[in-house]
Amino acid sequence: RRDRYSGDRWQRKMCIRNNIEADGYIATNNHVVENAVEIEVILPDKRIFTATLVGLDPNTDLALLKIDATELPAVKFGNSDIVEIGEWVLAVGYPFSLNTTVTAGIVSAKARSIGIINRPGTPNGDGNSQNMNTAVESFIQTDAAINPGNSGGALVNLNGELIGINSAIASRTGSYSGYGFAIPVNLAKKILDDLKKYGIVKRGILGVSFPAPIAEDQFFKQQGLDPAKVRGVYITGVLKESAAEASGLQEGDIIQSIDDIQMTSSTEFSERIARHKPGDTIKLDYLRKGT
């Protein structure tokens, strides 16, 4: 991406990111196209298109574009749930306006929350009126070099399958320091499908609150709990008239699995909930007072 200021408006020029369908649907980051008046897409064969913004989701930093083109090569979707730490990956993008750059690295971690998406405003999937952060962060962390211009680009496995969409870096200088973060494709698929069908994201809300990942251990110690013994997601509150209240969840419960998938962190829990639409039924296993 190259940003340039022209008169009273921002124009965004963007080389193609993730062409997800042959008829011109393109996935990118919300922060790449947010507030843009005009979006221009340049294909690798140097064709230039004016893109239509189909929809945005600031809560996951995703956006969907459409260009008037057909028979384009489309990326094959992988499965981010089965990605393993230590697995080799490639990051694709246009860092510093260097066209079609590929870097290699490994998956360093999964279900990372780094606090970069912070959208106060309305009660979120954790449902607490005192916690108004609507962000869903469960990044794949990689040491493949990601720099400004990689945003919205593909993170692929060695089979060339899309497993993540590059979104952020952790750096004191603004350039690569070994820590890149990508939105897992299994979450992205749900968000992009909603944007294509409805123009917005229809997000299911369970209606529970839990400690922020960065302050989780401190919270447990304040409550006299041993962080090593809390195996799951500790519920600190239940939203009134929510699905959680209707099903009998209570403050102090520890959700241990969703649909028989063991939960090891609140970031993983948030992602799993965010994959669901309103009206979906899920199975929760939880611990209450040792039972």
DSSP string, 92-147: EE-GGG-SSEEEEEEEEEEEE--S----BSS--TT--TT--B-----EEEE-S---
Per-residue b or e along 119-142, where b marks 16 or more CB atoms closer than 10 Å to that residue's CB? eeeebbbbbbeebebbbbbbbbbb
Averaged pLDDT, groups of 10, the chain, 291 residues long: 36 58 89 90 87 93 93 91 95 78 92 66 37 70 86 92 88 70 93 94 90 80 81 90 94 92 87 92 91 87
Q: Report which residue type is found at 188.
A: A
pTM above 0.95, yes or no: no
User: Can you tell me which residue has the tokens 């102090």?
Assistant: 252
Backbone φ and ψ of 146, nearest 5°: -125, 130
pLDDT for the residue numbered 176: 66
Sole residue written with tokens 């393109």: 26
- Say which amino acid occupies 41: V
Neighbours of 87 (CB within 10 A): 14
Q: Which residues are part of the catalytic machinery?
A: 31, 61, 151
